[in-house]
Amino acid sequence: MTWTWFHRLGSPPYVYRLAGRLTPWFGWVAAVLLLGALYDGLVIAPPDYQQGDGFRIIYVHVPAASLSLMIYTSMAVAAAVGLIWRIKVAHAAAASCAPIGASFTVVALITGSLWGKPMWGTYWVWDPRLTSELLLLFLYLGYMGLRSSFDDLQRADRASAVLAIVGVVNVPIVKYSVVWWNSLHQGSSLSLTGKDTIATPMLVPLLVSILGFTLFFAAILLMRLRAEVLRRERAASWVREALSS
Amino acid sequence: MTHFLHMGGYAAFVWPSYGVMLLAVVLNIIWARSVLARSRTEARRRAAIQGDSE
Amino acid sequence: MSQGPSSPLTAARLVIARDLLLAFRRPEQLLQPLAFFVMVTTLFPLSVSPELAQLRAIAPGVLWVAALLAALLALDFLFRDDAQDGTLEQYALSGQSLTWLLLGKTAAHWLLTGVPLSLMAPLMGYTLGVPASAGAGIMLTVALGSLALSFIGSIGAALTLGVRRGGVLLSILILPLAVPILIFGSRATQLAIGGEPYTAPMELLGAIVVLSFTLAPLAAAAAVRISLE
């Protein structure tokens, strides 16, 4: 049962139509979640004991940073699937991830910088987490640059896939840099296994925010995926049908 | 209301942060839509050319 | 030429021997990265300050940035000649493990560029006010770091093979991956210059070397096959 579903995901016309139907769902649910998280985070959540109202940057900074890592990982996985099983749709998905991931990385760096100034006294410090997040941005840009330097789309897909996979080593470095090194950046407040160190009324808008941005990413990804799928389908007749609808 | 905008003195940092995120959200939407629209036009054009040559 | 199966290790050794022989027929190409290294290093006393005390403080960073840039320059030559005259294609079609052949090529590249750089580095360090006693430490750290750089760089060189003016793109791609080498390498050099034990960053550098020479040829081989399609 599951394998037919997986095979259908490799079919461009199926993906094109499915993506088209799913995009508005993801988009609107994301909008509702984000507006809710916005109100909760800015108005309802109590000010922090140490950071006052400044801590509210957390509701944009942490989702941006989490998403920058999650998107890169997805991109690398999609690239690997495309490379190993030679599935065009997977390459299309990887290509679609990159600009979105890069934009979230930029947001993470800027919001982090704006949070650092009042809290640490400086807009930037070369500590492991900030440095590796900056490197993540360079990896995204390098990936997009490598793609655009090839005329042949297939070669662009496969070469950039190798780069994406090699670069994924940076993701655990960003994530665990606060554990491995003495970093100025604070340690993890969220944990999948242990107890969270953040108070619940402050935690809820953060989780909703992360979920909302994830769904937002999905919606944008699906839009870009449809565009990439169309690019890769040269002579297919389904394209004519799909576009006239 | 002013207390809200003031953000406990951190307004200069909090509001630009939210602004940057909002900008990123809006730009992502616009950019993705334009990329999709362009590829649809391209694909339609390609399909029309093939239709003529058949 | 003799035929018959030989072990991948033999094939790699033959590739190293071939590359070394070819390189020594054109020694000017060997000197270019070295000359670049010397020139970049001398830019700093000229632009920052001729004060030896100040130079000594920035010496590790200067030496490493210059070595990194020189290595990046040299990486351009790693596959270019062989790709152009079809040798790389022969390697891919030969039935020998392309991974091992590329391991051989990259090792030869390090012998031709990284080793001379590591011999030159203490000299340039001396011009930057570094005491001569730190010479051995500098040589060791640059040798190890440039080895890791050659292997990680081989991935970038393989990826940008088919690209016009791929040299700049190569540097951009390699830089994020080369940063850990730069960080640990210059830290090790800094400790060596200060006369302190530098085993900790050297061990990390060594770990990166082991990781890169086991995994990088695999990625490079995949990238070369993609470029040759």
Q: What is the pLDDT of residue C2?
A: 54
Residue C12 CA to residue C123 CA, distance in Å, equals 33
The whole-number pLDDT of residue A106 equals 96
pLDDT band at A32 (very low <50, low <70, confident <90, very high): very high
- The proportion of chain C whose per-residue pLDDT surpasses 90, expressed as a percent, equals 42
Report residue C172's pLDDT band, with 50, 70 and 90 as the boundaries.
confident
CA distance A223 to chain C (A): 28
Mean pLDDT for C154-176 is: 87
- On whether the CB atoms of residues A217 and A67 are closer than 8 A, the answer is yes
Number of H helices, E strands in chain C: 9, 0
Residues of chain A contacting C169 with CB distance shorter than 8 Å: 142, 145-146, 149
Is pLDDT above 80 for B1?
no
Neighbours of chain C (3+ CB pairs under 8 A): A
- Written as six digits, the tokens of C17 are 């021997």
Q: In this model, does residue A79 exceed pLDDT 70? A: yes
Most confident of A127-136, A158-167, C27-36: A158-167
Residue B53 has pLDDT above 70, yes or no: no
| C-chain residues near A138 (CB < 8 A) | 172, 175-176
Cβ contacts (< 8 Å) between A100 and chain B: which residues? 28, 32
Q: Assess whether pLDDT exceeds 80 at residue C65.
A: yes
Task: For Cα atoms C100, C80, C139, give the angle at the middle one, nearest 5 degrees.
Answer: 70
- By CB atoms closer than 10 A (0-12, 13-18, 19+), residue C192 is buried
pLDDT greater than 60 at residue A157: yes
Cβ atoms of residues A143 and A160 within 8 Å: yes
For all residues of chain A together, what is the average pLDDT? Answer: 87
C219 to A174, C30, C99, C134: CA distances (angstroms): 22, 26, 8, 36
pLDDT of the residue at A72: 97
Q: Does chain C touch chain A (at least 3 C-beta pairs within 8 Å)?
A: yes
Interchain CB contact of A168 with B (< 8 Å):
no
Total length of chain B: 54
Q: Between chain A and chain B, are at least 3 CB pairs below 8 A?
A: yes
User: Is a pLDDT exceeding 60 seen at residue A43?
Assistant: yes
A220 and B46 in contact by Cβ < 8 A? no
Burial bucket for residue C198 (CB in 10 Å: 0-12, 13-18, 19+): buried
Instruction: Pick from B2, B4, B14, B30 the residue to mutate for testing the A interface (most A CBs within 10 Å).
Output: B14
Mean pLDDT of A202-230: 94
Provide, as residue numbers in chain A, all residues whose Cβ is less than 8 Å from the Cβ of C219.
162, 165-166
Q: Do A57 and B27 touch (CB under 8 A)?
A: no
In angstroms, rounded to a whole number, what is the distance separating the alpha carbons of residues C66 and C121? 10
Q: What's the average model confidence in pLDDT over A121-130?
A: 83
Q: Specify the range with the lowest mean pLDDT, choosing from A196-200, C6-10, C47-51.
A: A196-200
Structure tokens at C56: 């000594």
A133 pLDDT more than 70? yes
Contacting residues of C for A163, CB less than 8 Å apart: 155, 159, 173
Asked whether the beta carbons of residue A100 and residue B29 sit closer than 8 angstroms, the reply is no
Average pLDDT over residues A175-184: 76
Query: What is the structure's pLDDT at A196?
Result: 61
Residue to substitute from B5, B6, B17, B34, interface A, most A β-carbons within 10 A: B17
Please count the helices (runs of H) and the strands (runs of E) in chain B.
Answer: 2, 0
C117 neighbors C68 (Cβ within 8 angstroms): no
pLDDT at A123: 84
Across residues C143-159, what is the average pLDDT? 93
The pLDDT score that the predictor gives to residue A2 is: 63
CA C110 to chain centre: 5
User: Where is pLDDT greater, at B54 or A213?
Assistant: A213
CA distance C198 to C189: 8
Q: What confidence category does residue A138 fall into, taking pLDDT thresholds of 50, 70 and 90?
A: very high
Chain A closest CA to B11's CA: distance in Å? 8
Asked whether at least 3 C-beta pairs link C and B within 8 Å, the reply is no
Query: In chain C, what are the domain boundaries?
Result: 8-228
Phi then psi for residue C3, to 5 deg, are -110, -160
| Contact across the interface for A138 and C162, Cβ inside 8 Å | no
Average pLDDT over residues C118-131: 91
Q: Which are the contacts of A122, defined by CB distance < 8 A and separation ≥ 6? A: A116
A–C: how many Cβ contacts below 8 A? 58
Q: Can you give C6-24 as a three-state secondary structure string?
A: CCHHHHHHHHHHHHHHHHH
Closest residue to C219, CB basis, from A150, A162, A173: A162
Q: CB–CB of A112/A130 below 8 Å?
A: yes
Looking at CA atoms only, how far is residue B9 from chain A in angstroms? 8
Distance CA B49, CA B45 (A): 6
Amino acid A191: pLDDT: 55
Those residues whose C-beta lies under 8 Å from the C-beta of residue A201, and which sit 6 or more positions away, are: A44, A45, A46
The answer for A 116-155 residues in CB contact with B (under 8 A) is 117-118
CA distances to C9, C91, C98 from C5, rounded to whole Å, are 11, 14, 14
Over residues A169-193, the mean pLDDT reads: 74
Q: What is the DSSP string of C175-208?
A: HHHHHHHHHHHHHHHHHHHTT---HHHHHHHHHH
CB contact under 8 A, A103 and B35: no
Q: Which residue from C minimizes the CA distance to A137?
A: C176
- Min CA distance, A217 vs chain B (Å)? 9
pLDDT at C1: 53
Q: What is the pLDDT averaged over residues A75-94?
A: 95
Contacts of B38 in chain A (CB under 8 A): 227
Chain A residues interacting with chain C (CB cutoff of 8 angstroms): 83, 131, 135-136, 138-139, 141-142, 145-146, 149-150, 154-155, 158-159, 162-163, 165-167, 170, 173
Per the model's pLDDT, the better-predicted residue between B54 and B10 turns out to be B10
Question: Has residue A6 got a pLDDT over 80?
Answer: no
What's the mean pLDDT in B13-41? 94
Nearest CB to B13 within list A43, A117, A228: A117
pLDDT digits (tens, 9 = 90+) for C197-221: 888 889 999 999 999 989 999 999 9
For residue C11, the number of C-alpha atoms closer than 13 Å in the C-beta half-sphere is 18
pLDDT at C116 over 90: yes
pTM over 0.80: yes
Residue-wise pLDDT tens digits, C18-59: 999 988 888 877 888 999 999 999 998 888 888 888 888 899
